[in-house]
Structure 1
């Protein structure tokens, strides 16, 4: 402190000492805590940097917490998918056509083993993590599936799968168990006898006549497969030769094909075989034997192939896929039913209650198209009341060449649109279709005619109106399928989590995806099917017409087809879903590493801003302490100065 001639500035000295004391206290705090300041206000110019870095670290902590949470869920899903894959293989290998086991043990145990596997699948699909159900898409507050018992047996007066199967079997078999085919003999022509075989109506049930082939010339036939219902007439004039045969092909309710062959013989086997008929003394006797053999073969096939096909068809009706309704046989008399109806939640157990799109990319969103000459017709598959699939709400044309393209919208339920192409169709002609989703969202599809190669939203003009119509039909099918795919969406996107500023990971699951659905359908079908083998020689029909082994073979073949490794590349398969989740996990790991590195950098920056070196602080304390001691002494000496002391 300077002592000048005018006066001694004691107040200033005290002020300086006070500041040094405050600084000394701050340094002591820094030495004890390692922090520059105890409050934000004391940060000074470093405050904005500190706040910014802390905000960023908080964001990273949030992302890291999301990553940890999603990793936990992905681990659960990975374990579930691994088990699903094993169950799929076990089910595929447990029921093999022709492998019945000792004393037919495989046939006896197949239903219970399948039910056990189904119960495990249902339990896993209803799995939750901390109360969050993960196989229902965005619907996470409730289990997506009922219990196995409710699914199979029903609950609260609502029908389960067994009831739906029994109804479908009755509707497909018919009361006479001929598979909804009618047989009759026409003897009005004295020169020949005709055996009639016809479908009993225009409906989705039973056998559908598809093909016919013959060996020999003794069995005449006239087939009409284009009419609805289809029919075949077998004509007998002269007796056929031994070995003459006819083979009939049928389409079954699940879309598969089967055949029966009837062969002419001179002597019947003992017991009689249903695939043979005895050549009679005249046309009438031969026709009668042929009709009896035909009916026996139909009953035999109804009890085996048809029963299996009915069970799997019912599984498709009950365990509905995304964009499909639950269907049941309509009416109170299933043996004579002519249609399916949409099941309601009040009378039928709904197998899946999670998130699900109302539009499926499969089958053009439940629309079909066909070309007949120069006319292309787009038709709805289902009535509006089913609330699934696209509905055609409008169709317009914009043609530079009037008359080149015309449109006719047929009102009705279901509706259809017919587009007719004339010889004057020209480049630039447009057809716009307006499709409505069940939720009300509308999609417009516009196709424009071009002279050369067509691109997206275009169709090529052909040399003839028919060729143009064919090109338009293909382009329309592609565009509608793309629209349906967009409407269906990706189940993985139903649940997502932010893992960084510009990145999210998608890991949603829906139990009605193709891979899970095929397992549930096939296991449920195998669970409810039985394989009765009636015995006793007094009834010649018993052992032959109710072949348990043939039914088991048909069921096993369908299960193997449903769970085939060849389906691994299909959308929604367990293998593809596993791969998609693997990609999601890789994204999590990459984001986690980036956050870890960035956090380390930010921690270093924050340390530079908010912390101090204790060694440096200690040196500052020593220096300050020396100055402070000196200041105390000088101030003390100056404070004692007076004129008397000065004169002394």
Structure 2
């Protein structure tokens, strides 16, 4: 309902004057508020068209406050992570230097083992670094230490029936040496004037030979004309056959022997299609035969699949067969001349080689290491050669091969993952009693890394928002390959005196172990490796600093724009206030005079 106010003649002028005074009073109040607060208005509506600019600027400034808070927190995290990586690099370098300076006998072995244990403790402590109550190297698991103590890693967890690295090294040494001769699983026999030297002939499938003991690097060589070498069996790689085609989403671990004799571990997941450039994917195949062919191809030309692990249900396994051992006949057809030699070159499963060489010596030589005695006739010489060659093979097995066992077991152990099916390889036996690696999880080994391991880039496991459309990855995992290498090198040297106290201090084995651990530690420090991880954090630190500078510049620009919209100029306000006060005073006076006007006064 609309109400029409009453109207009296002559009231218009009075109402207009009153409204004018009220408007001036409102202006005076507004200017007084501006003068006291320095602000143009107390509400966004009072800013007029400037309210859009003000609202947008305040929203951006609020976001910048959040980004800066995240950047400040991330700077601390990145600095601590970078310091941890630098500490691991420093410990690796110190240990490598110690090994290069002290490859001397028993005392040095003990000293360097102690240094290695101290280095291992320091590296593990660095990988358990925290920032604001969050562990930095556990991936997406930040509320628990990502790595176990060196005591549990080396000695295991007996209360829970979990073996540590010491047990794995002992098992690896036994499998590599072979019993009862301990000649690196090589078989040496003598019949009359002929020696027969063969890779493990008891292994009918080749699976054991693919993983343990010596292999021939090339045919034995004899100088002179009295000793001949004839191949009696040609080595052939074992073939792996899957029991079924793996399905999309299933994961498995396969270890392949490359052409150079070294082993490579691949953790694969079945994907369809396989992403371009992926290094951890296995295609989907329609049959077990097609999948087996693709599995074999992973080893490349002249390579072979050595072991297979999976926790898939139903069981996904591989059977091995088709392998054959290399074998040679070494015949003493006449009496050799002093100085004639027999040399056997052997491959180890870590990609290294060692050579056994014997030189013929005439009596009264006694057959000391590196020589064999020329007997009364070829048969006696062959027996002497057999005895000396067996001893030489045993020494090589107890030295370089045993050292290789330690480093291989250490690398296998630190390749162990909390992901089902990716635990450290454990040795079992096949139906014939030959050592092989188990293919299904046995849950009897310590898993040294307790963090998240779901795949993907380690840095992507944590990120910080540093801009409207910028997320900076700053995560990390203690089981990144470079960390695994560094820890394996340290642990291999530290565990040897625990796994084999007597053999650990022999010169040959210690020198072989020192050489291998030095190479592992060097690999860890070779890009891509620890330096690359350190570089990632250095770049992250620089990016955080740059983002903070950018935000600071943006904030200054926005605040300048707000000054022009929200802030009132004190000089202008004071001048306007004085003008309004004068006008209001004049209006009051005129109104007062008019209000007193009457006919009497008028006359």
Which range, TM-score by smaller chain? Answer: 0.7 to 0.9
| Distance in 1 of aligned mates of 2:31 and 2:102 | 90
Instruction: Give the drift of 1:114.
Output: 0.4
| Distance in 1 of aligned mates of 2:474 and 2:449 | 19
Cα distance change, pair 332–163 in 1 and its aligned pair in 2 (3 A)? farther
Task: Verify the 8 A CA contact 2:171 2:427 in the aligned structure 1.
Answer: no
Match of 2:75 in 1: 71
Deviations for 1:588-613, whole angstroms, at most 9, x for unmatched residues?
33322222112111001111111111
The residue matched to 1:530 in structure 2 has which SS?
A: helix
Gaps of 5+ in 2: 1-8, 237-323
Q: Normalized against structure 1, the TM-score is what? A: 0.71
Match of 2:184 in 1: 179
Q: Does residue 1:59 correspond to 2:67, yes or no?
A: no
Q: Does residue 1:522 correspond to 2:489, yes or no?
A: yes
Task: Note the aligned Cα RMSD (angstroms).
Answer: 2.8
Match of 1:556 in 2: 514
Match of 1:244 in 2: 340
| Distance in 2 of aligned mates of 1:273 and 1:624 | 119
Deviations for 1:283-306, whole angstroms, at most 9, x for unmatched residues?
332222212112211221121111
Instruction: Give the drift of 1:7.
Output: 5.7
Instruction: Give the drift of 1:6.
Output: 4.6
Out of 345, 351, 355, the position equivalent to 1:255 is 351
- 5 Å-filtered alignment, 1:485-500, equals 490-500=457-467
- 5 Å-filtered alignment, 1:12-31, equals 12-31=16-35
Match of 1:198 in 2: 199
Cα distance change, pair 641–621 in 1 and its aligned pair in 2 (3 A)? same
Cα distance change, pair 217–335 in 1 and its aligned pair in 2 (3 A)? farther
Task: Verify the 8 A CA contact 2:199 2:214 in the aligned structure 1.
Answer: no
Q: Does residue 1:169 correspond to 2:136, yes or no?
A: no
Match of 1:404 in 2: none
Match of 1:480 in 2: none
Instruction: Give the drift of 1:170.
Output: 0.8
- 5 Å-filtered alignment, 1:452-467, equals none
Cα distance change, pair 196–6 in 1 and its aligned pair in 2 (3 A)? closer
Instruction: Give the drift of 1:173.
Output: 1.0
Task: Verify the 8 A CA contact 2:358 2:371 in the aligned structure 1.
Answer: yes
Match of 1:46 in 2: 50
Instruction: Give the drift of 1:115.
Output: 0.8
- 5 Å-filtered alignment, 1:444-459, equals none
Gaps of 5+ in 1: 359-488, 535-544
Q: Does residue 1:99 correspond to 2:92, yes or no?
A: no
| Distance in 1 of aligned mates of 2:35 and 2:364 | 112
Deviations for 1:449-480, whole angstroms, at most 9, x for unmatched residues?
xxxxxxxxxxxxxxxxxxxxxxxxxxxxxxxx
The residue matched to 2:216 in structure 1 has which SS?
A: strand
Task: Verify the 8 A CA contact 1:533 1:547 in the aligned structure 2.
Answer: yes
| Distance in 1 of aligned mates of 2:42 and 2:352 | 79
| Distance in 2 of aligned mates of 1:246 and 1:121 | 46
Out of 220, 226, 229, the position equivalent to 1:221 is 229
Q: Normalized against structure 2, the TM-score is what? A: 0.76
The residue matched to 2:161 in structure 1 has which SS?
A: coil
- 5 Å-filtered alignment, 1:101-140, equals 104-140=106-142
Segments ≥4 residues shifted beyond 6 Å: 321-324, 332-335, 531-534
Task: Verify the 8 A CA contact 2:411 2:484 in the aligned structure 1.
Answer: no
| Distance in 2 of aligned mates of 1:167 and 1:335 | 18
Q: Does residue 1:346 correspond to 2:350, yes or no?
A: no
Aligned length: 494
Deviations for 1:311-339, whole angstroms, at most 9, x for unmatched residues?
01111211117899334343279995431
Instruction: Give the drift of 1:50.
Output: 0.9
Whose relative contact order is higher, 1 or 2, with alpha carbons under 8 Å and at least 6 apart? 2
Q: Does residue 1:233 correspond to 2:329, yes or no?
A: yes
| Distance in 1 of aligned mates of 2:390 and 2:412 | 28
